[in-house]
Chains A and B, each alone.
Chain A
C-alpha cells in the first residue's frame, strides 16, 4: 500500500516535470490565491459599511458562496485551457513523429497536468479565502464581535497578499521579494480605497 502511494507520487512528479508544469502550477497558486483574496477583501470592505444590519452567519454565507463559485469556475476554466494548450502541443508532435501518441507518457502526463492545474486553480482561492475569514468564523462562534472580525479579516487579506507576493519573488529567485509583496499589497489597497469611497457615497 505504502509502495503504491509512493509510486503514484513519483509518477505524478514525473508527469509534472515532463511538461515542465511546476512554474504553471506556481503561477496558478499565486494568481488565483490573489483573486480569492481580492474577492474576499472586496466583499468584506463592502459589508463593513453594513455591519449593523448583518449577522456573522450571513457574512460567512456570502463569502463562502463566492469562494465556491470561484473554485468551480477555476476547475472548468483551467482544465479546458490547459487541455486545449497541451492537445495542440501533442498534435504538433504527432505530426512530426508520424504516429499517434495515444497510450504514451505524453497523454498520461497531459491528463495529470490538466487535472493538477484545475485542482490548484480551484483550491488556491478557497484556501486563501478561508484563511482570511477565520476571524469571521470566530465571530460566528461568539468569540469576537462582527465589526472586529471583519476588520481583522481585512488585515489578514492584506497580510496574505503580501505573503503571496513575497512567495512569488522568492520562488523566482528575485532579491527584491519584498517589492513583489508590496506590489500585491498596492492592488489590494487600491480596491480597499475604491470600495470604501463607494460605501461612503452610498451611506
Chain B
C-alpha cells in the first residue's frame, strides 16, 4: 500500500481529553495502525504534544477532523512519509 504512511504533528490540545483518549480516537481513523503521542509542554489548561501517526494510506483529513473535533489546534505538520516507510 502507498499513500501517506507517517505523519508527525505539533498539536496544542486541551488538558481534557487526555492523550490516552486522543490516541484511541486517532486509531479509529481509516489507515491508522499506530499512534504515538509525546507530551512536550504543559501550560495552563493546555498541553503541547507531538503526535506521530503511522499506518497505510492514512486518511489525513480524518486525522485533522478528529483533532479538530477534540478541540486541538494543529500548529504544524513536522514530518510526512509517503510510499515505503524508511527502515
Chain A: residues with CB nearer than 8 A to chain B? 18, 92-93, 96-99, 101, 103-106
Cα A103 to Cα B17 in complex, Å, equals 16
Given contacts A18-B16, A18-B17, A105-B17, contact A96 B71 (CB under 8 A): no
Interface residues of chain B, those whose CB is within 8 Å of chain A, are 12-14, 16-17, 43-46, 68-73
User: A106–B46 contact, CB under 8 A?
Assistant: no
A101 near B71 with CB under 8 A, answer yes
Q: Is the beta-carbon distance between B71 and A98 smaller than 8 angstroms?
A: no
Q: Report whether A97 and B16 are in contact in the complex, using a CB–CB cutoff of 8 Å.
A: no
A14 to chain B, nearest CB (A): 10
Please name the residue on chain B nearest to A97 by beta carbon: B73
Indicate if the CB atoms of B44 and A96 lie closer than 8 Å: yes
Distance between Cα atoms of A98 and B74 in the complex (Å): 11
Q: Residues of B contacting A101 with CB < 8 Å?
A: 71
Given contacts A18-B16, A18-B17, A105-B17, contact A97 B71 (CB under 8 A): yes
Q: Can you sample 8 A-B contacts with CB below 8 Å?
A: A96-B44, A97-B72, A98-B12, A101-B71, A104-B69, A105-B17, A105-B70, A105-B71
A97 and B12: CB pair below 8 A?
A: yes
**Contact status of A104 and B71, CB under 8 A, knowing A18-B16, A93-B14, A97-B12:** yes
The CA-CA distance from A105 to B44 in the complex, in Å, is: 20
Q: Dominant SS at the A interface?
A: helix
Q: B68: which A residues are within 8 A, CB to CB? A: 103-104
Residues B73 and A99 in contact, CB atoms below 8 Å apart: yes
The complex places the Cα of A29 from the Cα of B29 at a distance, in Å, of: 38
Nearest Cβ in chain B — how far from A30, in angstroms?
26
The answer for the CA separation of A101 and B44 in the assembled complex, in Å, is: 17
Closest B residue to A98 by beta carbon equals B73
CA distance A93 to B44 in the complex (A): 9
CB distance from A98 to the nearest CB of B (A): 6
Interface contact A92-B45, CB-CB below 8 Å: yes
B69 and A105 within 8 A (CB): yes
CB-CB under 8 A from A105, the residues of chain B are 17, 69-71
Task: Name the B residues within 8 Å of A92 (CB-CB).
Answer: 45
B45 to A93, Cβ gap below 8 A?
yes
Do the beta carbons of B17 and A97 come within 8 Å of each other? no
A96 lies within 8 A of B46 (CB): yes
Q: A18-B16, A18-B17 are in contact. Are A97 and B46 (CB under 8 A)?
A: yes
Q: A104 to B16, alpha carbons, bound, how many Å? A: 13
**Top 9 A-B pairs, shortest CB-CB distance:** A104-B71, A96-B45, A96-B46, A99-B73, A97-B73, A106-B71, A101-B71, A93-B14, A105-B69
